[in-house]
Structure 1
Amino acid sequence: MRNWRQPAGLSILSPVHFPFTDPWRKKPAPRHFQDLRVDGRGCEDYRCVDVETDVVSNTSGSARVKLGHTDILVGVKAEMGTPKLEKPNEGYLEFFVDCSANATPEFEGRGGDDLGTEIANTLYRIFNNKSSVDLKSLCISPREHCWILYVDVLLLECGGNLFDAISIAVKAALFNTRIPRVRVLEDEEGSKDIELSDDPYDCIRLSVENVPCIVTLCKIGYRHVVDATLQEEACSLASLLVSVTSKGVVTCMRKVGKGSLDPESIFEMMETGKRVGKVLHTSLQNILHKEESLGTKRQKVGFLG
């Protein structure tokens, strides 16, 4: 089962696999040969995605995602800090992206640093807001103490469609995150003391229901495709990043590339992103819950797979 693959699908690194296709997508007529890509996928089909959580032991949560030849590792570390002045009753997230030079020669020198900063800024815009993550649940004591989630992203291999793979890995890692329960004790003099629970099962979990995923649509000729390979990205002059929630709500859009997009294309790409994003969320949520239900019976692959 481990070596079994489909042209389009999503799976965890275990014997559980499921197809990733949109049953409501209308199939084009045979004459529309543009819907057939080099690897046999349609324009709205993803490659098989492997997802495994809890892969790094010294983190609060972690996940590894393989999307084709793209390999992403995400670790989340929860640390106590001080809330921001403009949001005294909320915690917050910090992102750091490390583009390993081993992933692709393009990351050598400043190339990897610039891309890492670009990805980190995009992730901050998408995830670090109260509509995506319940930041108030990260507050321990208003204006004094809060949880800061440091999200570290490591690019192990680059095979195209980085933003989508990273967003899937971030959501999976946040789902896997356990934050110790904190009790604020106040003495007679009014001074406060923070007490952390020693019980590993006495923790709080983040709700990832509204955490969005990124769907990148690459414009190639008159058509647009999702989950582009490196070869397809080389043929595209402009792409649209669409951040979509599980309910199909677009929270953020960003154009990348030197080319231009006409308004009609943007609308079509946005609708495709919403449609594909809803299926992606459903598939990911199902597999994360199924993986968690396996408990100790889950076959961990880690870095040996």
Structure 2
Amino acid sequence: MYFVCFFLKDNCREDGRGCEDYRHMEIETNVVSNTSGSARVRLANTDILVGVKAELGAPAPEKPDKGRLEFFVDCSANATPEFEGRGGEELATEISGMLNRAYDCPACLDLQKLCVIPNQQCWVLYIDILLLECGGNLFDAASIAVKAALYNTKIPTVTVSRDEGIMELEISDDPYDVQKIEVKLAPCIVTLSKIGHSHVVDASQKEESCCLARLMMGVTQNGTITALKKEGSGSLDPTSVEDMIEVGTGKRVGEALNKSLTTALEEEERQGTKSKTLGFLR
């Protein structure tokens, strides 16, 4: 731990990054054919696959005119020996809970567009997250993969008609007659890890083992903070937390991360079939 902290004093980490730098990241969408949308993110040695399935269901009683998001996380036993048996259940619950909190913000997604018939039918997006390999910073990588998969999601157009007082739904089977989800303001999670007296983003596994406490933030492209969660046995000074959130690392890094992700996804969409695919699960 001493050597890790020594490097951080000069804003230099063991792998040469600054305290606010992410590792190399690869993102590919539309990687699973039997889903409404999918994405795969590889952040250094962290590898995550996300699939989205859109199905018609009943809206939540407290939100009768909105669609729903359901997050499910599965930790592959091949990712790390710690996940064998039921070892990954606690982590899976933490990740899905943080994503639920981050997306539980009216400004993130317009869920009203997913409502088909108020109080009766809406689109439910089942978001399945599979952790294939663990190389640190799982929460951030999972949130990036979720946003990319939602960007890639295509929902069939539904026509509602009334026949003798009975509502009938007709789902288009035209692959081009679909609607997309506006995810520009969907949040990404930024994890700030406290190591010594420094705070770093995108901690590696070695850095996470030295981390005394960490603060996870759901941040949108315009700087809105949608969720906060503190973890670890160490303490965080209130002044330090305020700087991390409002005027310091968290919002700045979150805004930049969201903008870079949006740009990359739009560029991939523009390239279409011309884009080079990695062949993942093809």
TM-score w.r.t. the length of structure 2 is: 0.94
Provide structure 1 residue ranges, at least 5 long, that are not aligned to the other structure: 1-30
Quote the residue 2:100 is aligned against. 124
Offset at 1:206? 0.5
Q: Distance in 2 between matches of 1:241 and 1:139?
A: 31
1:275 to 246, 252, 255: 252
State the SS of the aligned residue for 1:303: coil
| Aligned pairs (5 A) from 1:90-239 | 90-187=66-163, 189-239=164-214
8 Å CA contact 1:52, 1:302 repeated in 2: no
Q: Does 1:63 align with 2:34?
A: no
Q: Distance in 2 between matches of 1:302 and 1:162?
A: 23
Offset at 1:32? 8.2
State the SS of the aligned residue for 1:35: coil
Q: Deviations over 1:109-131 (max 9, x none)?
A: 33201111111111111114422
8 Å CA contact 2:223, 2:252 repeated in 1: yes
Over the matched positions of the two proteins, sequence identity in percent amounts to 60
Q: Distance in 2 between matches of 1:158 and 1:171?
A: 19
Q: Which amino acid aligns with 1:58?
A: N
Q: Distance in 2 between matches of 1:88 and 1:124?
A: 18
Q: Distance in 1 between matches of 2:237 and 2:195?
A: 13
State the SS of the aligned residue for 1:90: coil
Q: Distance in 2 between matches of 1:32 and 1:100?
A: 33
CA change 1:213–1:32 in 2 (3 A) is closer
Offset at 1:302? 3.0
Q: Deviations over 1:125-167 (max 9, x none)?
A: 1114422111101100001110000000000000000000000
8 Å CA contact 2:213, 2:233 repeated in 1: yes
CA change 1:34–1:110 in 2 (3 A) is farther
Offset at 1:80? 0.2
116-125 vs 147-156, which moves further: 116-125
Count the aligned residue pairs. Answer: 274
TM-score w.r.t. the length of structure 1 is: 0.87
Quote the residue 1:36 is aligned against. 12
8 Å CA contact 1:92, 1:128 repeated in 2: no
Q: Distance in 1 between matches of 2:29 and 2:103?
A: 19
Quote the residue 1:15 is aligned against. none
Quote the residue 2:4 is aligned against. none
Runs of 4+ deviating beyond 4 Å: none
Q: Does 1:252 align with 2:227?
A: yes
Q: Which amino acid aligns with 1:205?
A: K
8 Å CA contact 2:31, 2:281 repeated in 1: no
Offset at 1:223? 0.5
Quote the residue 2:276 is aligned against. 299
Q: Distance in 2 between matches of 1:106 and 1:62?
A: 26
